[in-house]
Amino acid sequence: MLLRNKYLFMAITCFSFNVLAFEEGYASNGDTKIAYRDYGPASGKPILLVTGLGAQLTLWPQFLIDDLQANSFRPIVFDNRDVGLSTRFSSKPSQLINYLKYFLFIPVTSEYSIEDMALDGISVLDKLEIEKSHILGMSMGGMISQVLVANHPSRIETFTLISSTASTPNPLNGPKFKVTRQMLKRTAAQDDIEGRIDQSIKLFELIGTPGKTYDTPQFRSDMRSYIKRGGDDSGFLRQMAAIIGSKNRKQLVKSIKSPTLIIHGDIDPLIKVKNAYSAHKLIKSSELVIVDGMGHLLDESSYQQFQPRLMQFLKS
């Protein structure tokens, strides 16, 4: 496989019965470098996965990547700006002040916007010379994807929106207070890796599948590798500022004509399920799937519930 530029290299990951190759590199949106990973194969139908708040590209579950490839798709993932290996920014927003503004409905300023982040996704498609792609966005990635899909309809095959919202979050449609409180603690242990892992476990337990055990040796090992790759977590606060400082997207979302599948857990404690119904009303070309017992995180048991409908939709 040919190297695309000096940043690109081949990585090989071994699984139980096969060897999976992927390419990594950087796309450019002005001065902002966006790290991406192209799982291939080149003959597959491209699907760009847009990840959520503070999440690196490595957080996409391997079962999803494997299943997409098994169904003749070409998964492409990337680090949103300000996280992982993508360009990092420097402002230092106060999480306390921003959350107070959030609860008091006072506008929040941010160093960059959701619109900027949507263009980051387009830059990845441009770098890989992909004219049209399926788009799958989850959580904040769904918000970014709404802008991407609405503003660049000629680049879109289909749009899948998971665990997200078409409204600017506010206290009336936002997360439960205990979830917000735990998110406030996210950046409190920057210099303590084990402390960051502990905070992640507590957050995952709050927003993930009820009863699922996250405090396992494997999870802790994976999180150590994740933290080592991504470094500090300061981008989380700037990304959060971009979310709660964003303009209302309802009119923009109404303009989406691309075939759209909306998937949401019925017990999502971070982005309430009513947001899925609202998005479904706004996007006339959409279908809605509500998943029983699914929280905000994508685990394999929840995925299996909607996997047949997702594949049918992507192939239709």
The answer to the question of residue 68 being in a domain is: yes
CATH of the domain at 304: 3.40.50.1820
Query: Would you state the torsion angle of the CA atoms of residues 51, 53, 59, 65, taken in this order, to the nearest 10 degrees?
Result: -20
**Which H, E and C letters describe 183-212, residue by residue?**
HHCCCCCCCCHHHHHHHHHHHHHHHCCCCC
Q: Is the pLDDT of residue 226 over 80?
A: yes
**32 sits in which H/E element:** strand 32-38
CA-to-CA separations, 56 to 34, 49, 77, 248, 249, in angstroms, rounded? 11, 11, 9, 26, 25
The answer to the question of residue 3 being in a domain is: no
Section 203-226 average pLDDT: 90
Q: Using the CB atoms, write b or e for 73-82: b if 16+ within 10 Å.
A: bbbbbbbbbb
CA-to-CA separations, 53 to 66, 206, 207, 256, in angstroms, rounded? 23, 16, 13, 23
CA 14 to chain centre: 25
Pairwise CA distance, residues 155 & 152, whole Å: 6
Instruction: Compute the Cα dihedral for 234, 236, 239, 244 and give only its sign.
Output: negative
Pairwise CA distance, residues 263 & 141, whole Å: 13
The answer to the question of residue 4 being in a domain is: no
Nearest to 83 by CA among 109, 117, 124, 119: 117
The answer to the question of residue 14 being in a domain is: yes
The answer to the question of residue 216 being in a domain is: yes
How confident is the model at residue 18, as a pLDDT? 36
Count structural domains, the chain: 1
Q: Is the pLDDT of residue 22 over 80?
A: yes
Tens of pLDDT, residues 131-153: 999 999 999 999 999 999 999 99
CA 28 to chain centre: 19
Query: What are the φ and ψ backbone dihedral angles of 275, each rounded to 5 degrees?
Result: -65, -35
The answer to the question of residue 277 being in a domain is: yes
The answer to the question of residue 2 being in a domain is: no
The answer to the question of residue 1 being in a domain is: no
**156 sits in which H/E element:** strand 156-162
pLDDT band at 51 (very low <50, low <70, confident <90, very high): very high
Pairwise CA distance, residues 95 & 90, whole Å: 15
The rounded percent of the chain whose pLDDT value lies above 90 is: 66
Pairwise CA distance, residues 130 & 201, whole Å: 37
How confident is the model at residue 77, as a pLDDT? 98
Q: Is the pLDDT of residue 187 over 60?
A: no
Pairwise CA distance, residues 87 & 32, whole Å: 6
Query: What are the φ and ψ backbone dihedral angles of 32, each rounded to 5 degrees?
Result: -95, 125
How confident is the model at residue 13, as a pLDDT? 34
Domain that holds residue 89: 9-315
Section 278-286 average pLDDT: 96
Alpha-helical regions (H) of the chain: 62-70, 95-103, 114-127, 140-151, 177-184, 193-207, 217-230, 235-244, 250-254, 274-282, 300-315
The rounded percent of the chain whose pLDDT value lies above 70 is: 84
Nearest to 83 by CA among 35, 128, 45: 35
How confident is the model at residue 37, as a pLDDT? 98
Q: Is the pLDDT of residue 231 over 80?
A: yes
